[in-house]
Amino acid sequence: MPAQPTRRPPTPGPSFDLATYLETQCQAVNRALDRWLPAERVRPATIHRAMRYSLFAGGKRLRPVLCLAAAEACGGSATEAMPLACAVECIHTYSLIHDDLPAMDNDDYRRGKLTNHKVFGEGIAVLAGDALLTQAFEIAVQCRAWPRYSHQTVVLELARASGSLQLIAGQVADLEGEGQPLSASQLKYIHERKTSALLCASVRLGGMSANCTAAQLEALTVFGYHVGLAFQIIDDILDVTQTSEKLGKTAGKDVAAHKATYPAIIGLEKSRRIAARLTAKAFDALRTFRGRAQALEALAGYLLRRDR
Amino acid sequence: MPAQPTRRPPTPGPSFDLATYLETQCQAVNRALDRWLPAERVRPATIHRAMRYSLFAGGKRLRPVLCLAAAEACGGSATEAMPLACAVECIHTYSLIHDDLPAMDNDDYRRGKLTNHKVFGEGIAVLAGDALLTQAFEIAVQCRAWPRYSHQTVVLELARASGSLQLIAGQVADLEGEGQPLSASQLKYIHERKTSALLCASVRLGGMSANCTAAQLEALTVFGYHVGLAFQIIDDILDVTQTSEKLGKTAGKDVAAHKATYPAIIGLEKSRRIAARLTAKAFDALRTFRGRAQALEALAGYLLRRDR
């Protein structure tokens, strides 16, 4: 598969079966999460039911699968990357639970199911998010440590990508920008932090679990940043162009909430071109791996072409 | 100072000046927290203002000071324990911010100041708590690691004490028990998790930073558990017996909210006796340190005698 810079992502070749890969990795991630999370019957049952409700609500497992694929591209194994993949998914899920709260985005549906606070109440939803965030660190340090990538390094990576300068910064800017006219650069600031930061950390952590070289880590950083930004722009586009049924959440909600989106600020066609260009840059970064990044390539192509 | 089990805690001798010790350690903790937290001007300023508002709202710094004192009792230094002391304080502060939310205890005042959500709004208060929780792990792994007490060990200690089986379990049980008649054992379950768990982790982490022996860690565990439970029972007693002005928060609130407390379930006098007995057990545990735990002794004595 060619990895030269291109305006259009290469169609995954017949040599790589993305559907099977996705299904296999998702199942492995689900099994691992199930093993690490306290069972529903463990006291206090409410909190474990609430944590599991959102964690197993049918998410695409994009971040953990990217983490595993990054580990494999660096010659590592999915098994050794698994604690980090699961930690990243716990962080992602906690951020969704808190984002959906009435005081934030006030969303009733997520992935076609009622949001956490609609089922368990606001108090438990706050605590379920807190518990998943805390659990993420407990799970992350189960990974294998290397001299270059110690447990200190991976905890710092995870904490910084999720902290007040990245993931939370994006959510704050999003909250503060609601109902206000945002510039394209302000919107980029939000998307970089709300989406790119954790996605970038996902592939970097995958690389770290495989004891990757400095060059590989740099390539994964460039890849993760660009895929993350493209992913969020496509989310904005789908909110405008798709039905609620297909998205599993309220479509057109960004428009209704006067939320700034790429299509609203720069138009639909230009948004599509930017997403394609970002994806091309992500592909370009994978050249370092000389054909060993087939899964990452296929995943990036899929993310650009998806319709929900 | 005698360390035999006793029904009354020993009065701190003239050899130990607790007021000066507390002030010195508090100032050191405050300086360290100030160094580790992003400055208020760092973008997005709102979240850093909100984090600092609650972190520097005049808390007693009980947990971090206990952490430093435990390190010293084990022959270690406050400097090496400082990252763990600050991490524990970040966790404590996050838990207060979230506990005060309308969906939980719905409190307007804390330490004589408006609660975080009253100043910054609910959305930012949720995120400020999230950010402090995340920051705690970033700060914790700045500590010195020992072969026996690796960064993995300290992260696990912190995550488990704060997670869905301890700190958060206590909050869930508290939330679910509101307005319901609780038995003494149910109340003990809540207090052990909401208060003892993190307090116990504070002294254990202090010991770990000093590369303590297994016997010392066990002694600190017994000490922390009993001091933590005594501390919470005294909090219940003060809610009944003191004015709002003195407490810096709404007094009598537990009673008004039909919250179960020790005085309500077993009476004021019996509650006092239990608190004194628990403190005596905590003192007893300190015998292991053969006089090197003066600060821990003085702190425990102070906690039992305090009037706010």
How does pLDDT run across B142-190, given as a tens digit for each residue? Answer: 999 999 999 999 999 999 999 999 999 999 999 999 888 899 999 999 9
pLDDT score of A244: 55
Using CB atoms and an 8 Å cut-off, which of residues 16-45 of chain A contact chain B? Answer: 38, 42-44
pLDDT score of A68: 98
- For residue A235, how many C-alpha atoms fall within 13 Å in the half-sphere facing its CB? 17
pLDDT score of A2: 40
Residue B155 in contact with partner chain A when CB distance is under 8 A: yes
User: Do the domain assignments include residue B151?
Assistant: yes
pLDDT in tens, B246-256: 556 565 666 56
Q: Which amino acid is at A66?
A: L
CA B237 to CA B268: how far, in whole Å?
7
The model's confidence at residue A257, banded by pLDDT at 50, 70 and 90, is low
Other residues' Cβ atoms within 10 Å of the Cβ of residue B307 = 9
Lowest mean pLDDT among A24-28, A110-114, B130-134: A110-114
Cα torsion B134, B137, B142, B147 to 10°: value is: -160
Q: Which residue in B40, B150, B164 has the most chain A C-beta atoms within 10 A of its own C-beta, making it the best mutation to test that interface?
A: B164
CA A101 to CA B21: how far, in whole Å?
43
pLDDT score of A250: 61
Q: How far is residue B66 from each of residues A15, A143, B293, B304, measured CA to CA in Å?
A: 60, 31, 11, 14
User: Do the domain assignments include residue B4?
Assistant: no
What's the whole-number mean pLDDT along residues A38-66?
97
Residue A79 in contact with partner chain B when CB distance is under 8 A: no
Q: Which residue in B92, B130, B186 has the most chain A C-beta atoms within 10 A of its own C-beta, making it the best mutation to test that interface?
A: B130
Across all residues in chain A, what is the average pLDDT? 91
Q: Return the residue of B nearest to A162 by Cα.
A: B134
Q: Which residue in A127, A160, A176 has the most chain B C-beta atoms within 10 A of its own C-beta, making it the best mutation to test that interface?
A: A127
User: Do the domain assignments include residue B307?
Assistant: no
**What ipTM does the predicted assembly reach?**
0.93
- Using the beta-carbon criterion (under 8 Å), do A164 and B47 form an inter-chain contact? yes
pLDDT score of A8: 45
The SS3 of residue A13 is: coil
pTM of the shown model: 0.93
User: Do the domain assignments include residue A6?
Assistant: no
User: Do the domain assignments include residue B6?
Assistant: no
What's the whole-number mean pLDDT along residues A239-264?
70
Q: Return the residue of B nearest to A124 by Cα.
A: B172
Across all residues in chain B, what is the average pLDDT? 91
User: Do the domain assignments include residue B12?
Assistant: no
Q: What whole-number percentage of chain A has pLDDT above 70?
A: 90
Residue B88 in contact with partner chain A when CB distance is under 8 A: no
With vertex at residue B100, the alpha carbon angle to CA B130 and CA B305, rounded to the nearest 5 degrees, is 110
- Residue B233 reports pLDDT greater than 50: yes
With vertex at residue A57, the alpha carbon angle to CA A51 and CA A61, rounded to the nearest 5 degrees, is 100
Lowest mean pLDDT among A207-216, B86-95, B215-224, B232-241: B232-241
- Using the beta-carbon criterion (under 8 Å), do B138 and A121 form an inter-chain contact? no
- Using the beta-carbon criterion (under 8 Å), do B173 and A44 form an inter-chain contact? yes
- Residue B9 reports pLDDT greater than 80: no
- DSSP per-residue codes, chain B: ---S--SSPPPPPTT--HHHHHHHHHHHHHHHHHHHSPPTTSSSHHHHHHHHHHHTS----HHHHHHHHHHHHTT--HHHHHHHHHHHHHHHHHHHHHHTSTTTT--SEETTEE-HHHHH-HHHHHHHHHHHHHHHHHHHTTSPP-SSS-HHHHHHHHHHHHSTTTHHHHHHHHHHHTTS---HHHHHHHHIIIIIHHHHHHHHHHHHHTT--HHHHHHHHHHHHHHHHHHHHHHHHHHHHS-HHHHTS-TTHHHHTT---HHHHH-HHHHHHHHHHHHHHHHHHGGGGTTTTHHHHHHHHHHHH---
CA A224 to CA A65: how far, in whole Å?
13
Using CB atoms and an 8 Å cut-off, which of residues 117-146 of chain B contact chain A? Answer: 121-127, 129-131, 133-135, 137-138, 140-141, 145
Using CB atoms and an 8 Å cut-off, which of residues 171-200 of chain A contact chain B? Answer: 171-173, 175-176
- Residue A295 reports pLDDT greater than 60: yes
What's the whole-number mean pLDDT along residues B192-210?
98
Counting one residue from chain A and one from chain B, the pairs whose CB atoms sit within 8 A come to: 146
The model's confidence at residue A259, banded by pLDDT at 50, 70 and 90, is confident
pLDDT in tens, A177-226: 988 889 999 999 999 999 999 999 999 999 999 999 999 999 999 999 99
User: Do the domain assignments include residue B7?
Assistant: no
pLDDT score of A171: 97
Measure in Å the smallest separation between the Cα of B222 and chain A Cα atoms: 23
Q: Which helix (H) or strand (E) holds A185?
A: helix A184-191
CA A218 to CA A221: how far, in whole Å?
5
pLDDT score of B250: 61
Most confident segment among A57-61, A245-249, B195-199: B195-199
The model's confidence at residue A251, banded by pLDDT at 50, 70 and 90, is low
Looking up residue A52, the CATH number of its domain turns out to be 1.10.600.10
Number of compact structural domains in chain B:
1
Contacts of B130 in chain A (CB under 8 A): 94, 98, 129-130, 133, 168
pLDDT in tens, A220-242: 999 999 999 999 999 999 988 87
Q: Which domain holds residue A180?
A: 18-305
Q: For chain B, report the end-to-end CA distance as a whole number of angstroms.
A: 26
User: Do the domain assignments include residue A195?
Assistant: yes
Residue A159 in contact with partner chain B when CB distance is under 8 A: yes
Q: Burial letters for A268-281: b for 16+ Cβ neighbours within 10 Å, e otherwise?
A: eeebbebbbebbbb
> Between A51, A126, A165, which is nearest B103 by CB?
A126
- Using the beta-carbon criterion (under 8 Å), do B138 and A48 form an inter-chain contact? no
- Using the beta-carbon criterion (under 8 Å), do B176 and A44 form an inter-chain contact? yes
Asked if A193 and A166 touch (Cβ cutoff 8 Å), the reply is yes
- Using the beta-carbon criterion (under 8 Å), do A164 and B134 form an inter-chain contact? yes
Q: What whole-number percentage of chain B has pLDDT above 70?
A: 90
